[in-house]
């Protein structure tokens, strides 16, 4: 298939040619179009309504664990993926439960690094909820580590961001860490 010169599909086709691929091969004919469509879909942050409710006396930790996420390493353009655990202690507001996972996806679905995702999710929740504290832990496997360079499969990277009482209070921090260490 011929793509118009200087379109994203044409450029990707040129990369395939550079890598020695026969771009006329049946399996690769539509690959540039599919690849660009995938990248556009994946890298477009999905906006959502950050629905909150009155906390009505809720003052204990609210936590979600094992939230799957996918991202693309900004250094190697290789995928990384894993699970996140997110907790907060409300002050005035609680958030609709799906919003924790949506917040993680919002920051993960782009060219990223794991450390930044962790921080962005925690800071967004802290700001939106005016929470007493927020804790975010991400555990991910990076294909740039598994498939190239050091080639260490089954290596997991864990990043944490603790804000408010999760950072300042040992008991609260330990409660969160004990929960996530059980998974």
Which residues are catalytic, by number?
73-76, 114, 142, 144
Residue keyed to tokens 């879909």:
41
**Buried b / exposed e along 53-69 (16+ C-beta atoms within 10 A):** eebeeeeebbbeeebeb
Closest CA to 165 of 112, 101, 88, 99: 88
Place of tokens 């060219």: 111
Which of 135, 122, 137, 149 is closest to 82 using CA atoms? 137
**Residue 24: helix, strand or coil by DSSP?**
coil
Quote the tokens at residue 8.
């994203």
Structure tokens at 14: 């040129």
What's the burial of 52, exposed, middle or buried (CB within 10 Å: 0-12/13-18/19+)? Answer: middle
CB 143 within 8 A of CB 78: yes
């Amino acid at each position: 298939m011929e793509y118009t010169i200087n379109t994203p599909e044409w450029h990707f086709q040129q990369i395939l040619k550079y890598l020695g691929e026969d771009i006329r091969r049946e399996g690769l004919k539509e690959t540039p179009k599919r690849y660009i469509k995938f990248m556009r879909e994946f890298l477009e942050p999905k906006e959502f309504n950050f629905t909150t409710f009155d906390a009505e006396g809720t003052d204990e930790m609210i936590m979600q664990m094992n939230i799957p996420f996918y991202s693309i390493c900004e250094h190697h353009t290789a995928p990384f993926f894993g699970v996140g655990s997110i907790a907060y202690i409300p002050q005035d507001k609680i958030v609709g439960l799906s919003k924790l996972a949506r917040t993680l996806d919002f920051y993960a679905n782009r060219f990223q690094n794991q450390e930044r995702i962790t921080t962005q999710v925690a800071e967004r929740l802290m700001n939106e909820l005016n929470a007493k504290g927020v804790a975010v832990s991400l555990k991910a496997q990076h294909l740039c580590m598994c498939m190239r360079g050091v080639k260490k499969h089954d290596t997991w990277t864990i990043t944490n961001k603790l804000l408010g009482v999760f950072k300042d209070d040992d008991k609260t921090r330990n409660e969160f860490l004990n929960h996530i260490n059980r998974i």
